[in-house]
Structure 1
């Protein structure tokens, strides 16, 4: 049978995403652990396109069978192949109570309950802006993380894009002195302002596209920013660059999520070099699988693959990202120039399809 490197090369030819034999090994281990495609992505922590094409390749090589419900299972030939490579099913040892975040939410049950009550009529996620919001536990965990690092209480907080409604949770916590939301979706801007007025929260939401220059009054104004950026290199650079330019001084912090589902380790490496060499900030934390996302309604219509095993409704909150915390140094510098066009959502690692290939 073919070795792992040969399979990796075939996956690369199909996707354009650099794929290693270790990537193939991780995907095989995940497939051995669960038959459900979306959980395979979660367990393997490899880009969506790589996982999808890898499984299709396994099907074509008659190593797996696809059942009517979309389940993926190794057949006898596939199990023999796994055994020959000494690959075992992926094992998970994550703490079920904190979901691997290392955060105890038991003292914040009132905030969790209040947030759910206040946001019951929140706007739905839409494909126009590639939206998909996180679970309530994730939102409150973000608040706790920022507070624990000394970046929230008595601080001015900028939220760049907020379909997650982190601003509302932060306002309900009573910790920040001021919260400004800059958001491109008019529905969310209006909703956050309505909630802020109703509950007397220190939040101001405004329409903003992060490709535009920050309003002058907010350059160097904040103590902390948090965002959930699109994951093309261009979008990551401009979004985080805007956030850094909004921070006031040395020792301020930025928080953002980054997946391995739409961003390979190669992309992580490029972006980390931008953080260190261009922006001159320090990465202080990377917390794996910190952010868990609620499954969004338009998922199956937007994904770039129509394979039977992909077109199955997820059985778990499979889309997850690591939480980054960065801290500014005395010579840190963001992006303050005028409008900067960039590709926001689509590259070879993206979950969504390219319109021209629809």
Structure 2
């Protein structure tokens, strides 16, 4: 049996029993485009079948040997977990009540509260929280509020184009006595001069096109102090091809930022809770070679959490020029019609 873009992984998952499309996708390590192609090929070859709700094997499959693999059931592969956070987690979840719903035109989608705290735990393990100045380039996850609740950072600044988020963060901060600065900012525009070279740490979740990665990470790098700084960001393999990952490694190296951590499936996004319908799901179903009706039953959209550290002087490529932003690349499956391609 050939193993191409997770074909063997899908078959072995189904050998354990029937699965929903979303359960298969939740454990898939390649791109959405590859997933659709592989599932369609297996269906056309008669290897798998579907009743519209579940996908199952139509042929017997015998594994070679008994050796297998599994994620750690306690840390879920994260290695670093938050401690002493029970009260903080409850308060954070309470503060999220009434948060703005994600807006598709801003490509928003927030992660689970526990995953936000897991991100902060990794940052804390590297001494990147206490007494640090932290800038968040985009923050629909509201990491800023969770950081503020720890009472550890020296400064927290949020840049986001969505004024609804700013109003929410400012209102909650005032009610709870938290210090979070919000600035309306479009990453296409140059970083304000007063924010350049001022921060110890950045956190961002960039748009996963080449220009999106460049815009978010370049603006974040412009905000970093020239020496001894660090950054954190999320990236998927569902949206970003491995070719894009390779481009990203080179881009980071050009800025003198070295990758210290890349933790797969660190963050999960509860798309079924957004209340707007997740646009990627419609695109997936439209491209299947068989009828499938079951809505998502698991959180299938997950991202890898990266940490980078400055090696020598940070060298951002552009701080004072506007960046043209494309929201669709040729290897994307999310906006295949070509519309909404350039801002």
Go from structure 1 to structure 2 and tell me whether the alpha carbon gap of 1:98 and 1:118 turns closer, same or farther (over 3 Å shift).
same
Alignment partners' CA distance in 1, 2:65 and 2:329:
34
Asked if 1:253 is matched to 2:230, the reply is yes
In 2, distance between residues paired with 1:42 and 1:87? Answer: 24
Counterpart mapping for 1:273-292 below 5 A = 273-276=250-253, 278-292=254-268
Aligned to 1:242: 219
Q: Specify which of 279, 283, 287 is matched with residue 304 of structure 1.
A: 283
Correspondences of 1:1-358 after superposition (within 5 Å): 4=2, 21=4, 23-33=6-16, 35-69=19-53, 71-76=54-59, 79=60, 82-83=61-62, 93-276=70-253, 278-295=254-271, 296=274, 297-299=276-278, 303-305=282-284, 306=286, 307=288, 311-334=293-316, 335-354=318-337, 356=339
Moved over 4 A (4+): 86-92, 308-311
For the 8 Å contact 2:226–2:313, the answer to whether it is kept is no
Shift of 1:27: 3.7
State the TM-score, normalizing by the size of structure 1.
0.85
What secondary structure, in the 3-state scheme, does the structure 1 residue paired with 2:202 have? strand
Cα deviation for residue 350 of structure 1 reads 3.8
Q: What's the offset of the Cα at 1:343? A: 0.8
Paired residues, what number? 332
1-structure distance, mates of 2:320, 2:75? 41
Gaps (5+ residues) in structure 2? none
Q: Distance in 1 between matches of 2:281 and 2:5?
A: 29
Q: Distance in 2 between matches of 1:179 and 1:132?
A: 21
RMSD across aligned positions (CA): 2.4
Displacement after TM superposition at 1:130 (Å): 1.5
* Range moving further from structure 2, 86-95 or 307-316: 86-95
Question: How has the CA–CA distance of structure 1 residues 30 and 251 changed in structure 2, closer, same or farther, with 3 Å as cutoff?
Answer: farther
Q: 1:229 to 1:31 in 2, by over 3 A?
A: farther
SS of the residue corresponding to residue 21 of structure 1 reads coil
8 A Cα contact 1:218 1:246, kept in partner: yes
* Structure 1 or 2: more helix by fraction: 1
Cα shift readout 1:188-216 (whole Å, capped 9, x = no counterpart)? 11111111111121111121111110000
What TM-score, normalized by structure 2, do the two folds share?
0.89
